[in-house]
Amino acid sequence: MATVTLNSLYKNYGETEVVHGIDLEVGHQEFVVLVGPSGCGKSTTLRMVAGLEDITRGEIWIDDTCVNELEPQHRDIAMVFQDYALYPHMSVFQNMAFSLQYRGHDKSDIRRRVLAAADILNISELLERRPKQLSGGQRQRVAMGRAIVRDPKVFLFDEPLSNLDAKLRVSMRGEIKKLHRRVATTSIYVTHDQVEAMTLADRIVIMNAGNIEQIGTPDEVYSKPASVFVAGFVGSPTMNLLPAELTAADDGLAVRLDNDIALRIPETKRQRYANYVGQPVVFGLRPENILWSPNGAAQNDALIRRTAEEIEPLGSDTLVFFSIGGREVVGRLPPNSVRRIGETVSVLPEMDAMQLFDPASGKAI
């Protein structure tokens, strides 16, 4: 059993507070990813868990032990950094074995652990090589192997793939996912890459300016963002966000985007938004929920016709950019649906997938 609990965790550098009292519980064998832009506090939080940063206020618990005053080596954690930090004069075997030798393990136990970790990571044939003879991906596997042999309660990953090229990052994401299935250890992983977070996490913790904006599964933070920040951070492209007004219609509610466009709110959502009639809101819709409708009926009041201002063909689909109320909107449309800038784009918003946010607080309504 290995759980990690953060209770009202604060971090100050002098008079500057960079982590503002966050609470988080990571379950046994759970893979949790902290994600957010640079400066949001995610790496600082991880380093406090590791014992590499002092805590200003709050508590960190690993299982039933408060580790605030414990040195890193006594917390039963293993950390993988973006810098592999391998000893260049040692072989792969020696690099992986070093921490066990330092702790006084006997030679047979060290050999068993190193060989088992090397087998898990498919680097058995590399054990006699030096780091300079390895590729970036192989060096990262060795760094992970060095953590695995420790058999810790908790794995901590600090942007371990950021130094790899794009193709290798995709490959290593898969390797880390397989590793977690084979070595089911509680893990906290930090990244600024939301695609990395979505593909790896059991749960995602989205941080912004030292606060937690939302905690949820990848599907929850994508489909039901808790704030404008989350909606604008998660997804590629991110959610379209437009200033709008919620108005009363003859048979319900509508969201007005500009003088020409007022979209009816689905009946299933009317009660939720009824108290916001006449108020400004932020209307959100994912690019894939903007549906291509070249033969849409003219009388359909949800049909939007605009001019394509930019096109990005991606093979499997095409990103088409146009404007509503002076704001840029992007739709993820079928390939070749729009071939040239200047063509008329006819689309239908999938209103069952819409989100509304309070412009003052930024929170989902």
255-294 pLDDT, tens per residue? 999 888 889 999 889 889 988 999 999 999 999 999 998 7
Cβ atoms within 10 Å, residue 250: 6
Which range is least confidently modeled, 75-84, 125-134, 236-245, 327-336?
A: 75-84
pLDDT of residue 303: 87
Cβ atoms within 10 Å, residue 38: 7
pLDDT of residue 300: 57
Q: What is the spatial distance between Cα 120 and Cα 81, in angstroms, rounded to a whole number? A: 19
Q: Are residues 79 and 207 in the same domain?
A: yes
**Residue ending a domain, choose from 191, 208, 233:** 233
Q: Are residues 174 and 87 in the same domain?
A: yes
Average pLDDT value for the chain = 92
**Average pLDDT, stretch 133-162?**
90
Q: Are residues 267 and 184 in the same domain?
A: no
- Please report, for residues 108, 115, 117, the alpha-carbon distance to residue 112 in angstroms, rounded to integers and kept in the order given: 6, 5, 9
pLDDT of residue 8: 97
pLDDT of residue 301: 64
Checking if the pLDDT of 298 tops 60, the result is: no
pLDDT of residue 5: 98
Cβ proximity of 235 and 65 under 8 Å: no
User: pLDDT of 185-196, one tens digit each?
Assistant: 999 999 999 889
User: pLDDT of 101-123, one tens digit each?
Assistant: 888 899 999 999 999 999 988 89
Cβ proximity of 76 and 50 under 8 Å: no
CATH at 139: 3.40.50.300
Q: Which amino acid is at 164?
A: L
Counting residues of the chain whose pLDDT is more than 70, the rounded percentage is: 98
Q: Are residues 18 and 111 in the same domain?
A: yes
Checking if the pLDDT of 302 tops 90, the result is: no
Q: Are residues 193 and 271 in the same domain?
A: no
pLDDT of residue 221: 96
137 Rama sector, left if φ>0, alpha if ψ -120 to 50, beta otherwise: alpha
Structure tokens at 46: 């991880």
Checking if the pLDDT of 1 tops 70, the result is: no
Q: Are residues 20 and 108 in the same domain?
A: yes
**3-state secondary structure at position 54:** coil
Query: What backbone torsions phi and psi does residue 195 show, to the nearest 5 degrees?
Result: -65, -45
Q: What is the spatial distance between Cα 45 and Cα 276, in angstroms, rounded to a whole number? A: 37
How many distinct structural domains can be found in the chain? 2
**Average pLDDT, stretch 299-313?**
85
